[in-house]
Structure 1
Amino acid sequence: MTTITIGQSVPDFQLSSTGDKTLSLADFKGKKLVLYFYPKDNTPGCTLEGQAFRDHIQQFDSLNATVVGVSRDSVKVHEGFKCKQNFPFDLLSDPDETLCQLFDVIKMKNMYGKQVRGIERSTFLIDENAVLIHEWRKVKVKTHIEEVLQFLQQI
């Protein structure tokens, strides 16, 4: 599978999701999709990022944008994380890294002095016609939500 770049149509995908669902890109037709990739459930940075999306969900809704999180964690782990944090959006499980590879978010990272393969915190904005229109890579959690909302308000 090749990597997707801005301006290209995103191929349809299907992944298991919270809520005992299988979601595909086609499920979001007619809406903007804010697809955010994060390393791991129940970790400090990922929790803060999810909480920021949660706390601004009404603004995303008012801009016709649906938020969906993606990590390699299992749906069972996602369910606990979503419930504990009261996330009003779905979390997709990508254990085979299918979607991660499409968006080229698997990177070598330093963790406690060791090189490990992991998800680079990234967000992608897909328009109503399934075209990738913007990406944020190496996301900084503190300012990220404002950046995404500001971009959505300008388009």
Structure 2
Amino acid sequence: MSNVAVGKKVRDFSLPMTGDQTFKLSDCRGKKVVLYFYPKDNTPGCTTEGQDFRDNYSKFKRQKTLVFGISRDSLKSHENFKAKHELPFELLSDTEEKACAQFDVIREKNMYGKKVMGVERSTFLIDEQGVLRQEWRKVKVKGHVDEVLEAVKQARQGLNPSRTLTHITRRNP
């Protein structure tokens, strides 16, 4: 069960971060934050998603929005992934699944015919006061970053994205 809800303040958490740093959500107050959870470094969909955020990173910066990727991979894996794909934002390592549990992104998945527990691709937009404004679950990579950027722009213009888009869940095809 998710410990986060649209319109509610997100409980503070901290995780190891690339660049030999520690991420703490409360350190981001005053800026919007995009947290995107992805299954695994250097896999096709996760690489494309990271590159899409990379290619649009300057647009997020102009909107005073921080972007962070989160997966269960190690910091070493993250450092290599970040360098290989020239990601301008930091990646958070959640090997103990603390943030994954808080945001309820661990789901049963089919992998090569076997049931496994894995990260469901999900993104969360948190406002300057630490309130969850929007969530996307079961994300399909194509066009996703554009949707997130549009929600950030709406929030910047004073529109309430939680009223216009709220909770977006992709249905399985």
Task: Say whether residues 1:151 and 2:151 are aligned partners.
Answer: yes
CA–CA distance in 2 between the matches of 1:43 and 1:2?
Answer: 26
Deviations 1:77-132 (A, max 9, x none): 10000000000000000011000010000000011111100000000000000111
User: SS of the residue aligned with 2:3?
Assistant: coil
User: SS of the residue aligned with 1:142?
Assistant: coil
CA–CA distance in 2 between the matches of 1:96 and 1:88?
Answer: 25
Structural mapping, 1:75-86, within 5 Å: 75-86=75-86
CA–CA distance in 1 between the matches of 2:66 and 2:149?
Answer: 12
Deviations 1:6-56 (A, max 9, x none): 111111111000000011002211000000000000100000000000000
Structural mapping, 1:13-92, within 5 Å: 13-92=13-92
Larger relative contact order, structure 1 or 2 (CA cutoff 8 Å, min sep 6): 1
Amino acid corresponding to residue 101 of structure 2 in structure 1: Q
Aligned to 2:102: 102
Amino acid corresponding to residue 146 of structure 1 in structure 2: D
* Percentage of identical aligned residues: 59
CA–CA distance in 1 between the matches of 2:103 and 2:139?
Answer: 14
Deviations 1:49-81 (A, max 9, x none): 000000000110111110000000000110000
RMSD of aligned residue pairs (Cα, Å): 1.1
Quote how far apart the aligned CAs of 1:143 are.
1.0
Quote how far apart the aligned CAs of 1:2 are.
5.9
CA–CA distance in 1 between the matches of 2:152 and 2:14?
Answer: 25
Task: Say whether residues 1:123 and 2:137 are aligned partners.
Answer: no
- TM-score scaled by length of structure 2: 0.87
Q: How many positions carry a matched residue from both structures?
A: 155
User: SS of the residue aligned with 2:143?
Assistant: helix
- Give structure 2 stretches of 5+ with no counterpart: 156-173
CA–CA distance in 2 between the matches of 1:112 and 1:134?
Answer: 32
Question: After the TM superposition, which parts of structure 1 deviate over 4 Å for at least 4 consecutive aligned residues?
Answer: none
CA–CA distance in 1 between the matches of 2:123 and 2:131?
Answer: 14
CA–CA distance in 2 between the matches of 1:52 and 1:118?
Answer: 22
User: SS of the residue aligned with 2:142?
Assistant: helix
